[in-house]
């Protein structure tokens, strides 16, 4: 399936109701959810970032586009989660301290739920102590950290340090500025480029691949 230009444009224009309507129409017509995401919705957010870099749009426009994107994701969420049967393992996920971006993190959480994982989503702006407490309380063996800013990704190293006494917990990181090299540098167990990759890495870590 090629890009749905109407959907792409509606996200960029921040037209929440139009996005919800178009996504619903596509779903009703049997469109492939992955293609909708990968060919129309995620590229629109990428384009928004590029326009921001070129000073063509500012934070309010990014925010409005993000809300429109979320309206579409809400419709896709039950479809992505539908495949999940018995939970395979528990995963704690959150966006690190100082960072408020959550669209990518939410998408990763949705895909993991769809793949049968139980996901405890802590939200955004999460301190190392809260990650450590949640892992303890939930008895989770996988911790996933998201960061979208070059400044906040540094904090992932702090979280890894805070969990140094829990070598049994596998830490996976991701987000636009994060790389596999950075993951190696801070000594975490995995890096995922996107939400599909995130599922593959977790599958490998829990031995389900
Ligand atoms: C929407 C948006 C916002 C919204 C966020 C709303 C929300 N609820 O999330 C708002 C308006 C709040 C915002 C604010 C800011 N933003 Co902003 N934002 C974006 C934008 C346009 C899109 C992000 C997005 O949702 N992408 C779509 C999702 C699906 O992609 P994703 O997040 O990358 O996630 C995928 C992968 O990275 C991966 N992934 C993500 N997390 C994880 C975790 C794991 C464990 C794994 C395995 C994988 C994984 O899987 C996801 C799905 O495939 C980006 C541009 C861009 N190209 O990323 C800028 C961008 C990230 N923002 C930027 C900036 C500068 C800011 C502000 C500082 C602006 C300001 N001056 O105030 C503030 C910071 C606020 C804060 N403290 O966090 C810069 C960052 C530059 C940098 N290198 O640090 C970017 C790159 C824009 C730019 N080109 O300059 N932003």
Q: Give the whole-angstrom CA distance, residue 166 versus residue 160.
A: 10
User: Residue 98: CB partners within 8 Å, gap ≥ 6?
Assistant: 125, 149, 151, 152, 155
Is the separation of the CB atoms in 120 and 134 below 8 Å? Answer: yes
- From the CA of 173, give the closest atom in ligand 1: 45
Residue nearest to atom 67 of ligand 1 (CA): 59
At residue 1, does pLDDT exceed 80? no
At residue 85, does pLDDT exceed 60? no
- Give CATH 3.40.50.280 domain extents, the chain: 90-205
How remote is the CA of residue 148 from the centroid of ligand 1, in Å? 4
Name the CATH superfamily housing domain 90-205: Cobalamin-binding domain (3.40.50.280)
- Token pair listed for 176: 């636009």
Per CATH, which fold does 5-81 belong to? 1.10.1240
Q: What is the DSSP string of 15-45?
A: -HHHHHHHHHHHHHTT--HHHIIIIIIHHHH
pTM exceeds 0.75 for this model = yes
pLDDT of 80: 79
- From the CA of 59, give the closest atom in ligand 1: 11
Q: What is the mean pLDDT of the chain?
A: 93
Cβ(148) – ligand 1 distance below 6 Å: yes
Cβ(198) – ligand 1 distance below 6 Å: yes
Q: Give the whole-angstrom CA distance, residue 19 versus residue 2.
A: 17
The distance between the two most distant Cα atoms of the chain, rounded to a whole number of Å, is: 51
What would the pLDDT profile of 24-71 be if each residue is shown by its tens digit?
999 999 999 889 998 999 899 889 989 999 999 999 999 999 999 999
At residue 182, does pLDDT exceed 90? yes
Cβ(103) – ligand 1 distance below 6 Å: yes
Residue nearest to atom 54 of ligand 1 (CA): 49
Residue nearest to atom 14 of ligand 1 (CA): 59
How remote is the CA of residue 127 from the centroid of ligand 1, in Å? 18
Q: Give the whole-angstrom CA distance, residue 106 versus residue 186.
A: 24
Residue nearest to atom 51 of ligand 1 (CA): 104
pLDDT of 86: 55
- Give CATH 1.10.1240.10 domain extents, the chain: 5-81
């Amino acid at each position: 399936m090629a890009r749905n230009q109407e959907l792409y444009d509606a996200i960029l224009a921040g037209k929440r109701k139009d996005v919800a309507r178009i996504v619903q129409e596509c779903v009703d017509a049997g469109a492939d959810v992955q293609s909708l995401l990968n060919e129309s919705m995620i590229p629109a957010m990428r384009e928004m970032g590029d326009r921001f870099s070129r000073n063509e749009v500012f934070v309010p426009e990014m925010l409005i586009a993000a809300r429109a994107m979320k309206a579409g994701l809400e419709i896709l969420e039950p479809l992505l989660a539908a495949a999940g049967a018995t939970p395979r393992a528990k995963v704690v996920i959150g966006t690190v301290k100082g960072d408020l971006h959550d669209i990518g993190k939410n998408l990763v959480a949705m895909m993991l739920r769809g793949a049968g994982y139980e996901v405890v989503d802590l939200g955004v702006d999460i301190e190392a102590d809260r990650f450590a407490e949640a892992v303890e309380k939930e008895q989770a063996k996988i911790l996933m950290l998201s960061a979208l800013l070059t400044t906040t990704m540094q904090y992932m190293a702090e979280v890894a340090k805070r969990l140094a006494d829990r070598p049994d917990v596998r830490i996976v990181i991701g987000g636009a500025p994060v790389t596999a090299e950075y993951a190696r540098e801070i000594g975490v167990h995995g890096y995922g480029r996107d939400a599909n990759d995130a599922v593959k890495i977790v599958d490998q870590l829990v031995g389900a691949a």
